[in-house]
Amino acid sequence: MNVLSRMVRGLVSGVRAVNRRYANPGIEMTPFVRLALVTLRVYLLVLIGLLVYKFAITVG
């Protein structure tokens, strides 16, 4: 149990360290970059929505 909790703590601290290291996006946020990222978010949300819908109708 101790080993497991130590592993989880190590993983969480590792993830936090990564988040801190890359907290500030290095790319210049031009309007083109912003638009591309927003479009990508919308696209992925739609795709995930479809996956959830498929899962719901399959299970239902």
Partner 1 sequence: MNLVASTFYRSRRWLKILRLFAIVAGPGIIVMVADNDAGGITTYTATGAKYGNHLLWFLILLGPVAYFVQEMTVRLGAVTKRGHAEAIFSAFGPFWGWFSLLDLVLTDWLTMITEFIGMTAAMSIFGVPAWLTVIGCWLLMGGMIMTGRYWTWEKIALVLCVGNLIYIPAAFLVHPSVHDIVKNSFIPNLPPGGFTNELFFLLMANIGTTIAPWMLFFQQSSVVDKELQEKDITFGKIDTAIGALLTVVVATFLIIVCAKLLPGQSIDSAAQAAIQIMPQSRYVGAIIAIGLFDAGFLGAICISLASSWAFGEVFGWAHSLNRKITEAPWFYAYYLFDLLLAGTVVLIPKAPLVLITLFVQVIATTLLPAALVFLILLLNDKKTMGRYTNSTWENVANIGIVVVIIVLSTLYGVSTLFPNFLH
Which residues lie near partner 1 (CB under 8 A)?
Answer: 14, 17-19, 21-28, 32-33, 36-37, 40, 43-44, 47-48, 50-51, 54
Q: Which is nearer to partner 1, 8 or 50 (CB)?
A: 50
| DSSP state letter for 29 | -
Contacts with 33 (C-beta within 8 Å, 6 or more apart), sequence order: 27
Closest CA to 33 of 41, 23, 22, 21: 41
In angstroms, give the least distance from the CB of 51 to partner 1: 7
Q: Which is nearer to partner 1, 2 or 24 (CB)?
A: 24
